[in-house]
A = this chain, B = another copy of it.
Amino acid sequence: MADRKEDHLIEDDPTPLYFQLFNEIGIIEQLTRAIFEEHLPDGFLVSHFAVVNSLVRVRDGRTPLELARAFQVPKTTMTHTLSGLEKHGLIEMRPNPRDGRSKQVWLTKNGDIFRENAIRGLVPAFAEFAEKFPPDVVTGIVPILAEMREYLDAARD
């Protein structure tokens, strides 16, 4: 029979552990978003960069609704984000030839330059972080985080 300490440990309420997990994640998100936005030109948010980056990394020509789903934001939010990008000339909205209700989002030359500058601006911050948390440490936790993200995403009905 296990001793009392062990009994206590296995029966201990795990709730605070999960609270801590999501709390740490929430704080890191808040801090990194602030750092991120410090390194973007004035008036640009992470949401702007994320969309532009996705247009390069995945592909452009997607519809606003596809982008809204990719980022899991309401389509009204995506309308707003895209209008900001369009106003700054980083994207072009064209009619969707396959659907008269729809549009396509295309990256402009300036959009591409914006992304490259943004990434260049961020690399030093990453480098500093990487000194303290080298790639192998990050590689150790990213797969679990990705699993959690997938699980939570799927659980979202």
Measured CB to CB, the residues of A under 8 A from B are 14-15, 17-18, 20-22, 24-36, 46, 72, 119, 122-123, 126, 128-130, 132-133, 135, 137-142, 144-149, 151-153, 155-156
How many of these chains are in the complex? 2
Indicate if the CB atoms of B153 and A27 lie closer than 8 Å: yes
Interface residues of A, dominant DSSP: helix
Please give 8 more A-B residue pairs, beta carbons under 8 A apart, in addition to A24-B142, A29-B29, A133-B147: A17-B138, A22-B32, A25-B32, A27-B149, A28-B145, A28-B152, A31-B156, A141-B141
Residue of A15, A22, A142, A146 ringed by the most chain B CB atoms within 10 A: A22
C-alpha spacing A8/B26, complex, angstroms: 34
